[in-house]
Structure 1
């Protein structure tokens, strides 16, 4: 059985063509991408050791080996951070796992106060599992009639993968799906991550599992939304990490006057004000 670390290295290796790294084309290969032989040589390790890492038979490569593999794969900063994180959980938290449990849903009063100060802006508090924990009235206006906030405990990841309306609401659904799948690796805890993925996998189907195993590090560009009212919205996202709570405060900013005016019209409709979900 493989590990997240091995899966990521293998996925990156498969996605790289030799010529991208200035290596000669050695002709026909049994699998796409970079050969183990070439990656091992670039990283300064043996092919046998690389094979053990990819297959999950070596779960504790040194920091030097992890950094060498990052260099050999020409990873960008975000991908390097993900590689280091997977090395950590593969050799540490995953091995020590003792049980699964849902993530905490409470939001600190001071964080709620900060969210309140952001009114009438578009903002929410969430975690890496996608739980929508608190949001401003403008966020409610932007997501109204999309189905996202219909449940008692709304969850963005579940919505993206299981609600057909999400594919219309998110103009770039594929990119958003990759984002939500990737963020699960950084869940509030190993236990809550395993609990949520076990719950979601049976209803989300093979596409969800495929995206999880790809380990695609998202670029998080402009968020494009097709609101049911007919408005087309384009939003920038600014994220404030709340490490003490394993949560995030995300603020959405209009990219131009057209989106700002559309949000203003949506926000004039009746709403319930700031809401925290516990």
Structure 2
């Protein structure tokens, strides 16, 4: 039985081409990407040891081995962070508690006040499960008519994978889907993510499960939205962690003048003010 660490290591090996690392291409191979022997040689470990890690038979590789694997695969800094995080999960450092309660939905008053100060900007408070906990009027304006905020407990991850309108709303749906799947690995707690994933998988189907197990570390570039009223919006994103609540403040800024004008027009058609869900 594999582990998240082994799955990620194997996935990155399969998607790394030998020529990208200056290695000779020895012709036809049974699987794409690098051979285990390529990675083991570059990392200075045995093929047998790398096999144990990938197959989940070694769950506690040392920090030095993790660094060596990261070097061997030429991982980006964000990918190395994910490798270390998965090693903690695999090694049991992130413990599982069957009785852990679902993450709280209440947003602290100081965070809500910060959100108010960001009006008329586009901002929301969420968690890694994708629950939309609070949002500005401008966020409601740019998502109006898409179905994203329908219901009493909107969830961005569920919307992306189960609502057909999401594929039209998100111009780069594949990238957004990778982002939402990846964030489930980061919490707010391992057991909560597993509970949420188990409930979503039957509804979302193999598309969701495949992306979850690929461990693609997202680039999080400019977000392109196709608003139902017509304009395409291009938004830059910044995320601030809200500790210790396992929540995040996401701020979106127009990436160009055309988007800024469109957001202003959409905002003039909105109603009400800051919305918090608890």
Question: Is the pair's TM-score, using the shorter chain for normalization, greater than 0.5?
Answer: yes
Alpha-carbon distance, 1:92 to partner: 1.8
Structure-1 residue corresponding to 2:125: 125
- The CA distance in 2 between the partners of 1:68 and 1:102, in whole Å, is 37
Structure-1 residue corresponding to 2:65: 65
Q: Does 1:7 align with 2:7?
A: yes
Count of residues paired in the alignment: 278
- Where has structure 1 moved over 3 Å in runs of 4 or more? 93-101
Alpha-carbon distance, 1:44 to partner: 0.8
* Most deviating of 116-125 and 26-35: 26-35
Alpha-carbon distance, 1:131 to partner: 0.6
- The CA distance in 1 between the partners of 2:18 and 2:85, in whole Å, is 26
Alpha-carbon distance, 1:64 to partner: 0.5
Structure-2 residue corresponding to 1:24: 24
SS in 2 for 1:9: helix
1:254-269 equivalent positions in 2, closer than 5 A? 254-269=254-269
Is the 1:137–1:267 Cα contact (8 Å) retained in structure 2? yes
- The CA distance in 1 between the partners of 2:270 and 2:221, in whole Å, is 30
Is the 2:96–2:191 Cα contact (8 Å) retained in structure 1? no
Alpha-carbon distance, 1:66 to partner: 0.5
Could you state the TM-score of these two structures normalised by the residue count of structure 1? 0.97
List runs of 5+ in structure 1 lacking aligned partners: none
1:72-221 equivalent positions in 2, closer than 5 A? 72-93=72-93, 96-99=96-99, 101-221=101-221
* Most deviating of 169-178 and 100-109: 100-109
Is the 2:105–2:277 Cα contact (8 Å) retained in structure 1? yes
- The CA distance in 2 between the partners of 1:122 and 1:105, in whole Å, is 20
Calculate the aligned-residue CA RMSD, in Å.
Answer: 1.2
SS in 2 for 1:251: strand
List runs of 5+ in structure 2 lacking aligned partners: none
1:20-56 C-alpha deviation (Å, 9 max, x unpaired): 1111122221111100011111111111111110011
